[in-house]
């Protein structure tokens, strides 16, 4: 099967930081990763509503003078969690946006998949 040329590649998404209310643009963004606990009965239909609510809360905080942008989220059904990515002027601005929804959250300091040593590499003292 031949793939039409218009479907072979997709443009890379561009995430622009929210404008600084004082007029200096662009504001250097802080990327914040959160793990949000979801109510057990929120799935599957409620996920879109929760993501829209996160985006709305980010806009409310932005209108108050603290730029926040909800970039995206990834649902983890086994843990009933939503891993979210935000850009903002500060971590506190993101926390304020999520607190508007009254959902429990944990900030993630690092996102990595540790698979152990690379095959062929030896650990010291072994």
Residues facing residue 54 across a β-bridge: none
Which pLDDT band holds residue 60 (cuts at 50, 70, 90)? very high
Q: What is the C-alpha separation between 58 and 52, in angstroms, rounded? A: 10
- In the structure encoding, which two tokens stand for residue 59, read together? 């806009």
Give alpha helix (H) positions in 1-126.
46-63, 91-99
- Note the pLDDT tens digit of each residue in 3-52: 455 544 545 545 555 555 555 445 557 888 888 888 777 666 678 888 89
Window from 5-9, 63-67, 72-76 with minimum mean pLDDT: 5-9
Dihedral of the alpha carbons of 86, 37, 44, 32, in degrees to the nearest 10: 10
> What pLDDT score does 86 carry?
92
Q: What is the C-alpha separation between 19 and 62, in angstroms, rounded? A: 9
> What pLDDT score does 43 carry?
61
All structural domains of the chain with their residue ranges: 24-108
What's the fold here for domain 24-108?
Alpha-Beta Plaits (3.30.70)
Question: Contact at 8 Å (CB) between 97 and 86?
Answer: yes
Question: Contact at 8 Å (CB) between 15 and 71?
Answer: yes
Q: What is the C-alpha separation between 105 and 35, in angstroms, rounded? A: 6
Q: What is the C-alpha separation between 75 and 19, in angstroms, rounded? A: 29
Closest-CA residue to 69 (of 103, 93, 50) = 93
């Amino acid at each position: 099967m031949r793939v039409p040329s218009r479907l072979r590649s997709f443009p890379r998404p561009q995430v622009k930081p929210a404008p600084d209310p004082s007029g200096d643009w662009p504001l250097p963004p802080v990327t914040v990763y959160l793990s949000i606990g979801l109510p057990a009965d929120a799935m599957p239909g409620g996920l879109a509503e929760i993501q829209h609510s996160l985006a709305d809360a980010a806009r409310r905080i932005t209108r108050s003078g603290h730029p926040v942008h909800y970039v995206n989220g990834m649902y983890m059904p086994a843990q009933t969690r939503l891993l979210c990515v935000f850009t903002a002027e500060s971590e506190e601005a993101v926390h304020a946006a999520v607190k508007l929804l009254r959902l429990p959250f944990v900030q993630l300091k690092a996102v990595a998949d540790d698979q152990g040593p690379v095959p062929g590499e030896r650990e010291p003292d072994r």
